[in-house]
Amino acid sequence: MNELSKSAGAISRTGQWPDGAAFVDGAYCPISEAKISVLDWGFTRSDVCYDVVHVKGGSFFRLDDHITRFQASMAGLRMKIPFDADEMKAVLAECVRLTGHRDSYVAMVCTRGLPPYGPRGPVSAHENRFIAYALPWIDVLSPEIQERGGHVIIAKTPRIPADSVDPTIKNYHRGDMVQAMFEAEDAGADTAILLDHDGYVTEGPGFNVFVVRDGAVATPDRGALEGITRKATLELCGQLGLKAEIARLRVEDMHEADEIFLTTTAGGIMPVTRVDGRILSNDSPGPISRDLKDLYWKRHDEGWMATPVDYEGDDT
What domains are defined for the chain?
3-138 (3.30.470.10), 143-301 (3.20.10.10)
**Distance of alpha carbon 279 from alpha carbon 292, whole angstroms:** 20
3-state secondary structure of 244: strand
Q: What is the mean pLDDT of residues 144-164?
A: 97
Q: What is the mean pLDDT of residues 176-196?
A: 98
Q: How many other C-beta atoms can be found within 10 angstroms of the C-beta atom of residue 277?
A: 10
pLDDT of amino acid 315 = 44
At residue 130 the predicted structure's pLDDT band, cuts being 50, 70 and 90, is: very high
pLDDT per residue over 78-117, tens digit each?
999 999 999 999 999 999 999 999 999 999 999 999 988 7
pLDDT of amino acid 316 = 40
CB-count burial class (<10 Å; 0-12, 13-18, 19+) for 168? middle
**Distance of alpha carbon 137 from alpha carbon 33, whole angstroms:** 20
Residue 116, beta-bridge partner list: 118
Helix boundaries (H) for the chain: 3-7, 41-44, 63-76, 85-99, 143-148, 175-187, 228-239, 251-255, 287-301
